[in-house]
Amino acid sequence: MKLYYSSTSPFARKVLAVSIVTGLYDNIDRIEAAPHPIDRDVSVLAHNPLAKVPTLVTPEGLALFDSRVIAEYLDANTVAARVFPQEDGLRWKALALQSLSDGILDAALLIRYERTARPENLRWPLWQERQFDKIVSALDALESDQHAPSHAVDIGTITLGSALGYLDLRFPDFVWRSGRPKLGTWFESFARNDFLLRTAAPVPKAA
């Protein structure tokens, strides 16, 4: 199978991490793409009308997106561990954490595109602030006992690991660990997992 991805995409990182846990990483040809909301990558567009990564093309030629669907596909074809828990209680918790973490990433991507893709004279600071508010509320929830992540490896914790890694990569001035010691400690430990170490984005070069 072929995966259109970008080495800095947190959604692609999530599915690559899932491919490692499910034992399918070596079955995937990785094709580096250049996703962009304005300049669409035609190689991805050929398989996915949304031209977003990750996009997976199965051996049968079926194009799958988005990251949630690809993660389910890999889980259904696992030759190692599963990432979608089967037991109801654990399953809903993992799916809810995946949604919360994807929501952090959706807001972070909107800010990133506002800063890098939109012309300066068209930017709206309040838009960015409100997206940041979503991220802050989500992180505060994750610091609380009610939503604290476990150390189990599942679709929820993998997505959260990718999301926090993306905040460090693209928003180094946003000190999200401040006031959130439990979440910071969780990430310090969870980020040592092989599937996150192997999928980390290259460190950006200094300008």
For residues 160 and 138, what is the distance between their CA atoms, to the nearest angstrom? 11
Of 7 and 185, nearer to ligand GSH (C-beta) is 7
83, with CB counted inside 10 A (0-12, 13-18, 19+), is buried
Q: How far is the CB of 54 from ligand GSH (least distance, A)?
A: 6
Tokens 């190692």 belong to 80
Interhelix angle 88-116/67-76, nearest 10 degrees: 140
What sign does the CA torsion over 104, 105, 110, 112 have? positive
Q: How far apart are CA 200 and CA 164, in angstroms?
A: 11
Residue 179 three-state SS:
coil
Triad 14, 178, 95: Cα angle to 5°: 30
Cβ of residue 88: shortest distance to ligand GSH, in angstroms? 24
Strand, coil or helix: 21:
helix
Nearer to ligand GSH, 9 or 157 (CB): 9
* Binding residues vs ligand GSH (CB under 6 A): 9, 11, 35-37, 51-54, 66-68, 102, 109
Closer of 35 and 180 to ligand GSH (Cβ): 35
What is the nearest approach in angstroms of ligand GSH to the Cβ of residue 55?
8
The nearer residue to ligand GSH, 103 or 184, going by C-beta atoms, is 103
Question: Smaller CB distance to ligand GSH: residue 11 or 195?
Answer: 11
Map residue 4 onto helix, strand or coil.
strand
3-state DSSP assignment of residue 63: strand
In angstroms, give the least distance from the CB of 182 to ligand GSH: 26
Whichever of 67 and 193 has its CB closer to ligand GSH, that residue is 67
- Shortest distance in whole angstroms from residue 80 CB to ligand GSH: 22
Q: Provide the minimum distance between the beta carbon of 3 and ligand GSH in the complex, in angstroms, as a whole number.
A: 12
